[in-house]
Chain A
């Protein structure tokens, strides 16, 4: 009897310790120290929730910088993250990428042979990637300037200001947060 009662007792005690006390204690600490971040880094405007700074959004209007393709259903569904999970020799995948490459060239009036940065036409891992590479943002500058009646130099400056750098210059990749960039563009209009 002791050989069954003892393991159950140990299991229950550690379940309470690691499964309730620990996570609730961590929740209390995080909510106290980082209340905005631990609740999802939410951006609001005029009491309306616009989204999370860390979660990408779908942009397909010409006035906005576009983010990465997303395979979630619908795109950028932040309650059902997924990647495409298509392999490097998948024919359907190659066809889909071809189409996206064509669309990016067309929307941004690029020459037909222009090489496109990979992140702008390949699906992100989470389907929620909030970032694009600096190259992908620069590629869209002309279009945004045209659509918003701004000078290219002005748009380029805003892109440069929103570049996030590597940690200590070594970890991660330089990148641009698309939602924050588009918010900055919108705010420009208000000034």
Chain B
């Protein structure tokens, strides 16, 4: 690793922060209902939609109504997408004549896309018609991100309001997320991507005769429009099976830059939106700093581990033992790792390399990023929710240490908030470990593995870390398109999504009712270095206590065995 390798990463992170600043402020304005530079164009459309929906913009909801609207909306989304996949054979835009998707695969995909996980047990170019990709999957790419965004805005309102019964209007937040934030960004991204060779067409596959005279069938499709939102909405469900490693999803260094930048952009901006909405920008930066610290720690370990190379490969004659298995030449080791670290940190799940073939310690960090609950920036909206919940836990611990009633941003934290926070932190973790134990102790679970030894355990851990925390990337050697994995990962995805969103809305409802406590000399400051260190410490300690036994038996053990040249 040289400066030449590290400079692009430095440049990337600086540029990202630079863009996050105005975007964070912009989103705060949008969700506060203030005028922005887009209001002139989007405003009329917004008002027409409210009239069509029968929504009164000024009418607000209690947290229960908000949560109820959200769940009904998602239930309809799951049903709609499920049915669409079953009847795609009769629908238009299906030049490859794909028939109905198998029911368990279809159910898995429906839940997966609605919960912003985008775990894919199917292979895009061999399963889904262009119509399903557009009118089904692309739609949920947008909607799931918008739902995540709405949820975190509702949570933030809980901190702002005093003695209030309502936390906003779900339909208004949803519409604003789509019209002001997601659609404009997506259109820009889609145009840049297609200028580089990402395909965007409704024509059928091409039959070519190669230079050596072989037959080659090249799958096409409306890809750029889906890849753009797949990156920006932290969805990650590829149009093609190999996602952003496929040359038609990311053909050049510029598309790679746009895609990794796009997948980080909204999650990185949201802590700043948080600060702006509270009118306590230092608070936003404190959360941002905690997330960035966790991101950099993980990035350092993955880069180090991958640049070490594989000693077994070196012995059999590969130059420096560089591990290019499952990586593309145009990205190389450095950009594959930056993408892998980013995609697991922000709950995207898009990949530009095959994670199953990464070095064991890289795999360990990726699993850890997901397992702690996707709070290192995290998925659009839900990532910040997760971190705010960790902050509530941190303030509770701080309160215990100094012997005062814990409070956070002027709101007193009581047993109800603590209970909800613990539910949110523990549910995905318990689900992940429980499901993984079932999978590795049953024949039906083990028969899907493609690698033996500790790496097999890593495949299973990765699958449930990814699904229970709504990431969606995979150690793809695991054949997940079986009844067992389709159903268990579906369950994990539902738990992961709603055990984050419901407690968040409940906390918001409870906080909104409370008075705001004025800052006094006894208030524990939450905008300084000490707070950042404590928050980072709590995340790492909770994660380490929960997952290190499992991670030791999987990736850590494999790392040690690879060092002494043991294979399975």
A interface list, Cβ under 8 A from B: 2-4, 6-11, 13-15, 17-20, 22-24, 26-27, 29-31, 33-34, 37-42, 48-61, 64, 68, 76-91, 93-94, 97-98, 101, 105, 113-119, 121-133, 135, 164, 166-167, 170-173, 175, 179, 182-183, 186
Question: A116 with B139: in contact, given A52-B208, A57-B211, A172-B331 (CB under 8 Å)?
Answer: no
Count residues of chain B with CB under 8 A from any CB of chain A: 125
- B447 in contact (CB, < 8 A): no
Query: Is B226 in contact with A40, judged by CB distance below 8 angstroms?
Result: no
Of B135, B202, B218, B358, most A-chain CB atoms within 10 Å: B218
- Bound together, the chains give a CA A53 to CA B210 distance in angstroms of 11
- Do A90 and B455 touch (CB < 8 A)? yes
Chain B: CB-nearest residue to A59: B212
Say if the beta carbon of B354 comes within 8 Å of chain A: yes
Nearest CB on A from B455, distance (A): 4
Residue of B nearest to A68 (CB): B329
Interchain nearest-CB distance for B214 vs A (Å): 6
* Cα–Cα distance between A17 and B330 once the two chains are bound (Å): 35
B425 interface residue, CB < 8 Å from A? no
Contact: A89 with B329, CB < 8 Å?
Answer: no
Verify B326–A123 contact, CB threshold 8 A: yes
Contact A131 B329 (CB under 8 A): yes
B397 at the interface (CB under 8 A from A): no
Are A84 and B212 in contact, with the CB atoms below 8 A?
no
**Is B520 in the interface zone, CB < 8 Å from A?**
no
B contact residues around A39 at 8 Å (CB): 199, 201, 203, 220
Q: Are A10 and B206 in contact (CB under 8 A)?
A: no
Chain B contacts for A131, CB-based, 8 A? 328-330
Cβ contact within 8 Å between A82 and B242 = yes
Would A116 and B357 count as touching, CB distance under 8 A?
A: no
Asked whether B95 is an interface residue with its Cβ less than 8 Å from the other chain, the reply is no
Q: Are A172 and B195 in contact (CB under 8 A)?
A: no
Known: A22-B138, A81-B125. 11 other contacts (CB 8 A): A14-B142, A15-B139, A76-B216, A85-B354, A85-B450, A86-B356, A88-B312, A90-B452, A90-B567, A125-B328, A130-B247
Q: Which 10 A-B pairs rank lowest in CB-CB distance, beginning with the nearest? A: A172-B253, A85-B477, A125-B245, A19-B135, A83-B354, A173-B332, A87-B455, A167-B253, A91-B567, A118-B324
In chain B, positions 314-340 with a C-beta closer than 8 Å to chain A are: 316-332, 334-336
The 25 listed contacts between A and B (C-beta, < 8 Å) are: A7-B69, A9-B52, A14-B178, A15-B80, A18-B178, A19-B134, A22-B187, A30-B194, A38-B194, A38-B200, A40-B199, A40-B206, A41-B197, A60-B212, A79-B205, A79-B218, A80-B123, A80-B125, A83-B476, A86-B357, A86-B477, A87-B357, A88-B323, A91-B568, A124-B245
B544 nearest CB across to chain A (Å): 24
CB < 8 Å neighbour of A79 from B217, B252, B334, B360:
B217
The reply to whether A22 and B352 contact each other, CB–CB distance below 8 Å, is: no
**Cross-interface CB contact of B211 among A166, A173, A179, cutoff 8 Å:** A179
Q: B45 to nearest A CB, angstroms?
A: 9
Contact A171 B335 (CB under 8 A): yes
Given contacts A86-B357, A123-B326, A171-B256, contact A51 B123 (CB under 8 A): no
Determine which of A51, A80, A86, A114 lies in contact with B317 in the assembled complex, contact meaning CB atoms within 8 Å: A114
Interface centre among A15, A49, A76, A166 (most CB of B within 10 A): A15
